[in-house]
Structure 1
Amino acid sequence: MTIDEQQISAELRLMAEKARPIDALAYARQARIGSLRRRRMSWSVAGLAAAASVIASVIVVTSGGSGQVTGARMERLPDNTPQQLQAVRECMPQGGPVHNMDGNRRLPEYGTVKDFRLLVEYRDEAGSTALVGSLSGFVLCTPTSQKDFAERAIFTYWGFKAPGNMTGFSGGLQVDAYTSHMHSYTLGPERSQKDDIYRVVAGRVQSDVIRVEIDWADGRRTDARVANGFFVARVLGRSVPDPDGGEDPLGGPLTILDSPPVTVTAYGSQGQILEQDEDVAFGPLGRGSD
């Protein structure tokens, strides 16, 4: 019997589109528990040769303290600084992207650490989230001192289709991710466990874009960090009661991440709107990487 993997993937995506909104808070809790269990198991992965990197053209944009942005064309990804390389390695301790349900199972077909660059990073008083990418796709990285609870490096193709096209988008703006990322840490002398869930938006821009603003649809607006032709922003998530009245594993009222569609706006040097993407829906990482 021949298995049509492409058809199976298409059917699964169709089912996902018809499903109810993702319960990111409950998923994060379950993932943490499952992660600890899986780390006690030994996994083996068949060795696959990583695809050779193809030289591609990328817009490099840097923003200084003045808010001005300069653009230049390069024939390769910008090099990591030693600090950025260390951050990429910490983001992918298995040596590259991993399976979305098993952080110990590396997927070599999506590349290795040496293929990835820290493209842009959003920092706030609680920490940071970075967009880390290769010529084919990207992962998100949210550093934490609790390595066992770190988010997995889930790979997503640029354009959501293999082999990934980093520069293949029209207009001034391309939103590549609107998802959630967790930051786990301990607090106070009792070292109480905290798991903060952030709503994260990331993507690409053309060289004439100097500012990107996220309207989170809950009264908050955030200016994204823009660099190297990419952008990323995050905001602390808020939980709301499950509209279906669900219960958590302990029988208590279930809460879910409030994640309404967002609006992403790209501005030019005169403050004019170059492009606006409205009603961007929340979704998981990994699209096109089934």
Structure 2
Amino acid sequence: MAFIKISEQSSLYDDLEKKSIHELLVDINTEDKKVALAVEKAIPQIEKLVTQIVPRMRKGGRIFYMGSGTSGRLGVLDASEIPPTFGVPPTHIIGLIAGGDTALRNAVENAEDDTERGWQELEEHHINSKDTVIGIAASGTTPYVISALHQARAHGILTGCITSNPDSPMAAEADVAIEMVVGPEFVTGSSRMKSGTGQKMILNMISTSVMIQLGRVKGNRMVNMQLTNQKLIDRGTRMIVDELGLEYNHAKRILLMYGSVKAAIDAYQNDDLK
């Protein structure tokens, strides 16, 4: 069967320059409503991937996101938010983008076409069989990602991918292919729109469910979050107040003493602070 890039097909809308601002916004929103439904259909594949990631990470494995352009930026974004949210080192989930950090703000010419650099970067991180590599590409045809997945899989490393096109070359290199088919973009080919939104949703689902399974959440709260500003210190203090019934200033004092909600609660419940 021939590979068809649904993400590159013509928009369902035309004469966009003739539309009013209101019409543009309503039509974009109409298309965005399709994204969550497309992600929902991919839940079995997302679950399959997370189920295989968790035991690997319990043994010290890591997740590597790999992409170019918007896809790469979203991977780096999700990876960068894990340490402050869940209190884990930045080495647990690592985002790699074609062209390096320069590509976070600027297009790097031909970076996505480099078939060697992706695997070289993984080797620089001393990738091993406990790790997982997740390729992100709306088209499913990015050489930087495909070649890295191919090498990773050849070395016995778990591979996954997130794409907006079924039966893509990237999916062929993935043990678990997450195919989120959102249809043509509002502006033809602009995969920063629906495809990017869906990628962000799926990355949230993967990293959040993994961190919960690894014990980084208690109840529904981020008890291991980093206390990097006053808002988070206040949030953490109120968590301790709710959990232990302490007076606010007492709760804040032990939070700052132990550096996380979980550590402070554990210390109090073990009679260290009573």
Higher RCO, 1 vs 2 (CA within 8 Å, ≥6 residues apart): 2
> Is the radius of gyration larger for structure 1 or structure 2?
2
> TM-score, length-normalised on structure 1?
0.24
Structure holding more strand per residue? 1
> TM-score, length-normalised on structure 2?
0.25
Structure holding more helix per residue? 2
